[in-house]
A = this chain, B = another copy of it.
């Protein structure tokens, strides 16, 4: 959008290829803090990993808006359905996500979170990945009562539209949800403190 904020996409070169464990999450935080410290003139930041690594450390590092895609994906989902389901990549990430949703205080709105159980690396097999996402999405809808679905990984972005068509409930792509909220917050210019 002409006149809108410029968006810079940065890949943390120090991090692991994908975030699969709490150690992965915690290991990137000092690098993220450094990255934000190096960009004090920026107007806002989005952490584009569904574990929202370092969210609260970054909020201490700057008074500019810092948003996480898990947080914003879920908050956006709350406006699209009464019960949201989450599609995770890995089964072992679910407890980590549940702790996060507990800290957010939104557990009563959670229908459930289920994993497609493919390593991040296999996400390149699109047919397999999408097939699993559809089947998990339908299970969230039919067995857990989800009426909106959050894709629990930034790497799933390309599947939003076909997934929504296949499952028949709104699907939230969390990076876009977060960037949209961040643009709004940047434009409002509210300080964090």
A residues near B, CB below 8 A? 1-4, 21-23, 25-27, 29-30, 33, 54, 56-57, 59-61, 65, 67, 71-72, 75-76, 78-83, 94-96, 98-100, 102-109, 112-113, 145, 147, 160, 164, 168-172, 176-177, 179-181, 183-185, 187-188, 190-193
Nearest-Cβ distance from residue A101 to partner chain B, whole angstroms: 9
15 contacts between A and B (CB under 8 A): A1-B4, A3-B3, A22-B57, A23-B57, A23-B60, A26-B33, A56-B99, A83-B98, A94-B145, A99-B103, A107-B108, A169-B193, A176-B188, A180-B181, A180-B183
For A29, give the chain B residue with the smallest CB separation. B26
- Copies of this chain in its oligomeric complex: 6
Q: Which of B75, B100, B169 makes the CB contact (< 8 A) with A103?
A: B100
Q: A1-B3, A75-B75 given as contacts; is B103 within 8 A of A106 (CB)?
A: no
A99 partner residues in chain B, CB cutoff 8 A? 56, 82, 103
A95 partner residues in chain B, CB cutoff 8 A? 81-83, 147
Nearest-Cβ distance from residue A25 to partner chain B, whole angstroms: 8
- Complex Cα distance A184/B184, Å? 7
Decide if A102 touches B108 in the complex (CB within 8 Å): yes
A160 partner residues in chain B, CB cutoff 8 A? 190
- Complex Cα distance A66/B181, Å? 15
Nearest-Cβ distance from residue A50 to partner chain B, whole angstroms: 16
Nearest-Cβ distance from residue A51 to partner chain B, whole angstroms: 11
A72 partner residues in chain B, CB cutoff 8 A? 79
Q: Which of B1, B105, B170 makes the CB contact (< 8 A) with A191?
A: B170
